[in-house]
Amino acid sequence: GEDVEQSLFLSVREGDSSVINCTYTDSSSTYLYWYKQEPGAGLQLLTYIFSNMDMKQDQRLTVLLNKKDKHLSLRIADTQTGDSAIYFCAESKEGSYIPTFGRGTSLIVHP
């Protein structure tokens, strides 16, 4: 399997909460990231969490980390049509140069 896995698609209604899930295989992962890619644009860093944290909240975004299960999630509260994009999970290790990216989850927000 891949080192970082995500489901490919998620469809939600505007105003609902979205939860995008990610699993990773390397227990030595130290930093975990969520990036957002809008159509025709590059990846934009949304938020990141260190492996010694369980949760991080930033306005409408909540990141939850279950280190035991190697599971990361991104919750977007009150999802808007502008949140439609591809969301990439990534992980890296202390002293490592390069994060490993998942293949991205396409979030579709419909009225």
50 lies in the binding site for another protein (CB under 8 A) = yes
Q: How many CB atoms lie within 10 A of CB 68?
A: 7
Tokens 């860093």 locate to: 45
Are 23 and 74 in contact by the 8 Å Cβ rule? The answer is no
State in angstroms the smallest separation of the CB of 109 from another protein: 18
To 10 degrees, the CA torsion angle through 20, 23, 28, 31? -10
Tokens 């990361």 locate to: 72
> What is the footprint of another protein within residues 28-47 (CB under 8 A)?
30-31, 33, 35, 40-45
Only segment of 10-18, 25-33, 56-64, 75-83 that touches another protein (CB under 8 A): 25-33
Interface residues toward another protein, by CB under 8 A = 30-31, 33, 35, 40-45, 48, 50, 86, 88, 92, 94-99, 101, 103-104
